Amino acid sequence: MTNILCIGAGYVGGSTMPVFASHCPEDRFVIVDINPARIAAWQSDQLPIYEPGLEEIVQQTRGKNLFFSTEVNRHIAEADIIFVSVNTPTKTFGHGAGRAADLQFWEKTARQIVENSTSSKIVVEKSTLPVRTAEAMERILNSNGKGLFFDVLSNPEFLAEGTAIRDMQNPDRVLVGGRETPSGRKAVEKLVELYARWVPRERIITTNLWSSELSKLVANAFLAQRISSINSISAVCEKTEADVSEVANAIGRDARIGSRFLQASVGFGGSCFKKDILNLVYLCEHYGLPEVARYWEQVVLMNEYQEARFASNMVASMFNTVAGKRIALFGAAFKAHTSDTRESPALAVCRALLEERAEIVITDPYALDNACEDLKDLGGRITYEIDPYAAAKNAHAIAILTEWPQYAQLDYERIYQSMTKPAFLFDGRNLLNHKKLYELGFNVYAIGKPALTRLVNQGIVAA
């Protein structure tokens, strides 16, 4: 039996370890966190994160070979392998503020591992980290004065929220980076063996430590770049009467380009894309590569432009003022099937409209609590409403900001009847049937598509 510990019971630790536990019934998995409320939630029926399929797996494994605890020190002492998935937010202070990763939680964890270990261990970086963090970690861990040796591995997480369990069950690839020493190779093999219980060997890639660390940043940078690229084209489409969905389909059919991740939107969000790109930008600057830094930074700037452009288009379309107008935001989560609102474009649009003094009502099936927490600096200026029909009642406009499939199933005739006229609909995810909405009476504005509007005198392209 191998004792496996995961430090950090957030999205990453909380969705990967239960899957490990279900495939490795003879090994023992413990997830620890310094936050007692989080651990209590993991031990209850109300898990702290919403992820399809997660509840079932936790129920199957919890109390058998999967345990949640706040006793970090005791479990460090017992562990053979330690996964570290503590948060690595963007630094908000000092050198590299706004770009570099804040490694204070990581370093604290490394020191805690040293203090509490009585045997040599494998330590696996699971959080996204700047390249060469493993080197610093090795130095901290191996200056222990106890004669212990720690192998540091990099095993970045590629799972996407909303499909985390599916991604972990059936990954495109698993990446394990390690030192090219006999001990390093042995440690890599040990981790590969764990994954090989359910992942075909040919999908497990092993590399050196630095390639593995860098690949995580690069994968997210490339994915985000595709979205910023298609979003930049959406702006061109809106000026030329081209349709961004048609353009995406036409280019995506080229096998060299591929069709996925070409959905134009109000912008990308989530805890990873922006943070990882800024991390890459910082790294490039650090290594004296300013041109490369500017190249990748533009992916983030284009995303901010898209969010701002969406909000200002709303204002411009509604006779250049939204002051005092009720606007219903459909969706707060950064994408469908998650309650996560970190870096959600919905929140950016909300803030921009509040600046214009709109009256905002937000609806979302799962993310209202998180949205309320994120926007609490705005006090009581926003209404939260779980029922989309109630949210839309008397509104001048609806903005679709998260692609929840249920929003495509609503009775828009009923919604239209309940709204203030002229009624506006801004589809930030190109989720709805725009022609049908137009026929119901809406003025429809979608990303990268000609506007379908009855307001012919405003100089807007008329249908």
Catalytic residues: 272
Least CB distance from residue 402 to ligand UDX, whole Å? 8
Least CB distance from residue 55 to ligand ADP, whole Å? 17
Least CB distance from residue 260 to ligand ADP, whole Å? 23
**Alpha carbons 390 and 388: distance in angstroms, whole number:** 5
Which one of 4-12, 170-178, 378-386, 442-450 is the stretch in contact with ligand ADP (CB under 6 A)?
4-12
Q: Is 279 in the site for ligand ADP (CB under 6 A)?
A: no
Q: Which option in ligand UDX, ligand ADP, none does residue 207 bind, with CB closer than 5 to 8 A by kind?
A: none
Least CB distance from residue 436 to ligand UDX, whole Å? 23
Among 160, 292, 410, 455, binds ligand UDX (CB under 6 A): 160
C-alpha torsion 119→125→130→133, nearest 10: 10
Cβ proximity to ligand UDX: between 140 and 218 the closer is 218
Which one of 28-36, 95-103, 286-294, 450-458 is the stretch in contact with ligand ADP (CB under 6 A)?
28-36
Q: Collect contacts of 94-103 with beta carbons under 8 A, ≥24 apart.
A: 96/282, 98/278, 99/278, 99/279, 99/281, 99/282, 99/285, 100/130, 100/278, 100/279, 100/282, 101/128, 101/129, 101/130, 101/275, 101/279, 101/282, 103/129, 103/130, 103/133, 103/136
Cβ proximity to ligand UDX: between 117 and 265 the closer is 265
Which one of 29-37, 247-255, 361-369, 435-443 is the stretch in contact with ligand ADP (CB under 6 A)?
29-37
Which one of 219-227, 237-245, 322-330, 455-463 is the stretch in contact with ligand UDX (CB under 6 A)?
219-227
Cβ proximity to ligand ADP: between 89 and 258 the closer is 89
Q: Which option in ligand UDX, ligand ADP, none does residue 34 bind, with CB closer than 5 to 8 A by kind?
A: ligand ADP
Around Cβ 83, how many Cβ atoms within 10 Å? 27
Q: Is 38 in the site for ligand ADP (CB under 6 A)?
A: yes
Among 223, 278, 328, 361, binds ligand UDX (CB under 6 A): 223
Cβ proximity to ligand UDX: between 274 and 396 the closer is 274
Least CB distance from residue 192 to ligand UDX, whole Å? 20
Q: Is 268 in the site for ligand UDX (CB under 6 A)?
A: yes
Cβ proximity to ligand UDX: between 157 and 364 the closer is 157
**Alpha carbons 140 and 281: distance in angstroms, whole number:** 26
User: Measured in whole angstroms, how far is the alpha carbon of residue 20 from the centre of its chain?
Assistant: 21
Q: Which option in ligand ADP, ligand UDX, none does residue 7 bind, with CB closer than 5 to 8 A by kind?
A: ligand ADP
Least CB distance from residue 269 to ligand UDX, whole Å? 4
Cβ proximity to ligand UDX: between 273 and 330 the closer is 273
Per-residue tokens: 138: 């090795």
Among 157, 297, 356, 427, binds ligand UDX (CB under 6 A): 157
Cβ proximity to ligand UDX: between 184 and 269 the closer is 269
Least CB distance from residue 378 to ligand ADP, whole Å? 23
Paired strand residues for 397: 327, 424
Phi, psi of 311 (to 5 degrees): -65, -40
Q: Which option in ligand ADP, ligand UDX, none does residue 9 bind, with CB closer than 5 to 8 A by kind?
A: ligand ADP
Give, as ranges, the residues between 71 and 90 that touch ligand ADP (CB under 6 A): 72, 85-87
152's CB contacts (< 8 A; 6+ apart) are 123, 124, 125, 134, 137, 138, 141, 178, 179, 209
The residue type of 156 is: P
Among 19, 124, 244, 272, binds ligand UDX (CB under 6 A): 272
Least CB distance from residue 117 to ligand ADP, whole Å? 15
Among 61, 127, 245, 344, binds ligand ADP (CB under 6 A): 127
Residues forming the site for ligand ADP (CB under 6 A): 7-13, 32-35, 38, 72, 85-87, 105, 108-109, 127, 271
Residues forming the site for ligand UDX (CB under 6 A): 157-161, 220, 223, 227, 261-263, 265, 268-270, 272-273, 334-335
